[in-house]
Amino acid sequence: MRHYLIAALTSTALVSPAFAASPQEVAQTYVELAAAGYGDSLTTAQALQTAVDAFLKAPSEETHAAAKTAWLAARVPYQQTEAFRFGNPIVDDWEGRVNAWPLDEGLIDYVDASYDHSQENPLSTLNIVANASFTLSGAQVDATNLTPDFISGTLHEVDGIEANVASGYHAIEFLLWGQDLNGTGPGAGARSHTDYLQDSGCTNGNCDRRAAYLKAATDLLVTDLAYMAGQWAMGGEARSTITADPNAALSAMLTGMGSLSYGELAGERMRLGVMLNDPEEEHDCFSDNTHNSHYYDGVGIRNVYLGSYTRVDGSVVSGPSLSALVASADPAVDAQLKAELDASVAALGAVKAAAESGMAYDQMLAAGNAEGEALIMGAVAALVTQTASINRAVTVIGASGVAIEGSDSLDNPGAVFQ
């Protein structure tokens, strides 16, 4: 459960001293960063769509590799947008469509005999690719056509179970890579391109339906990202919500930074996997891309604070920052938080570097891998540390008179003195 830090500051939110950067300017930077980030997420997903189309048209090792490369590239901007998720209900309500995780992949396609049927999910081994209909609560469901509408409207979170992830990056990842059957040993998912051959060379059966699913899921991802890019473009609702109430924007920014740092990334995605020694607990578990996903989450958190984002084309979007706003109220808090954000990005960078040198993230989770555990827990510690300073930034901005909830002080400046 999340909190939007709204109640946090109302008791002290009374005055507005002069800031180096105004809340309005900082909010403006924030929406520009979000627009650029979701815009890049959309264009890289469109590149993935082109690569998937080419792969399905002529499945080969080369076209398969190109599709996987495009998926990896698409993750870079998207993960940086995760800092916009918590704090913006428009994003948070939508996020499950594109980045839901972890998933019971047996819902979608064939799985190895070692795959555990989930005790709490009767559909965890449904294998919709192999079944053109299935039974749900006693009723027969037609799955003849694997369309985007079927995936989003029927199959996603079917039976009210969150692990039934039918759409988004991780469903596509599974369809491209397949299960990683190496446990905490070296190696990622090793699905062959022949799973998509539309002739007698088809492996594992139902290549036509598998191809239809991959196509539909990829098209759906593009549609979903186009929706969110529109939310942050000129006239979009997420954008206008923020710009209409800059003080609420500050709350959204800090909530997003803190919730992603602590509960989500440090806790759910990193520490839990170490504590369970479970390779299923890695975020990009099929592709072994988890080190990048975590790293770009960390970069995204820092982007929001520093008011700067480096786009996929190398250009930089930047403007008056939350950092400047905090610094004008309490330079020590700002300096500490900036240093801690750099430290967490560096610690996540160390995980990334180790993975790129041959120790994949799932290998780090192995029981007894002290070096891997130290790398992950080092990043966890850095994220937990910065969360305390994000809390302090909330207090500083509140104590300096920015009503995080806004409203009263904006709509009726006199009200706060009554």
- Closer to other proteins by Cβ: residue 27 or 393: 393
Phi-psi region for residue 205, left (φ > 0), alpha (ψ -120 to 50) or beta? left
- Closer to other proteins by Cβ: residue 98 or 260: 260
User: Closest approach of Cβ 334 to other proteins, in Å?
Assistant: 14
User: Closest approach of Cβ 176 to other proteins, in Å?
Assistant: 24
User: Closest approach of Cβ 100 to other proteins, in Å?
Assistant: 9
- Closer to other proteins by Cβ: residue 12 or 60: 12
- Closer to other proteins by Cβ: residue 20 or 384: 384
Contacts with other proteins, residue ranges (CB under 8 A): 1-3, 5, 7-12, 14-16, 86, 116, 118-120, 160, 163, 258-265, 267-268, 271-272, 274-278, 280, 367-368, 387-388, 390-392, 394-395, 398, 401, 416-417
User: Closest approach of Cβ 332 to other proteins, in Å?
Assistant: 9
Helix 61-81 / helix 89-99 crossing angle, nearest 10 deg:
160
* Helix, strand, coil fractions of the chain, as percent rounded to 5: 65, 5, 35
Nearby residues of 84 by Cβ (< 8 Å), 6 or more positions away: 34, 37, 38, 91, 256, 300, 304
- Closer to other proteins by Cβ: residue 118 or 308: 118
User: Closest approach of Cβ 361 to other proteins, in Å?
Assistant: 17
Task: Kindly report the length of the chain.
Answer: 418
- Closer to other proteins by Cβ: residue 49 or 164: 164
Q: Residue 244 corresponds to which amino acid?
A: A
Bridge-based pairing of strands 133-136 and 316-318 is: unpaired
User: Closest approach of Cβ 30 to other proteins, in Å?
Assistant: 19
User: Closest approach of Cβ 266 to other proteins, in Å?
Assistant: 8
For 101, phi and psi rounded to 5 degrees?
-170, 150
- Closer to other proteins by Cβ: residue 240 or 395: 395
For 405, phi and psi rounded to 5 degrees?
-80, -15
User: Closest approach of Cβ 8 to other proteins, in Å?
Assistant: 2
Cα 123 to the center of its chain, rounded Å: 25
Give me 381's structure tokens: 């510690």
- Closer to other proteins by Cβ: residue 211 or 393: 393
- Closer to other proteins by Cβ: residue 132 or 399: 399
Nearby residues of 3 by Cβ (< 8 Å), 6 or more positions away: 255
Instruction: Report how far residue 214's alpha carbon sits from residue 207's, in angstroms, rounded to the nearest whole number.
Output: 10
Nearby residues of 394 by Cβ (< 8 Å), 6 or more positions away: 5, 8, 9, 254, 258, 404
HEC readout, 330-373: CHHHHHHHHHHHHHHHHHHHHHHHHHHCCCCHHHHCCCCCHHHH
User: Closest approach of Cβ 310 to other proteins, in Å?
Assistant: 26
Nearby residues of 69 by Cβ (< 8 Å), 6 or more positions away: 51
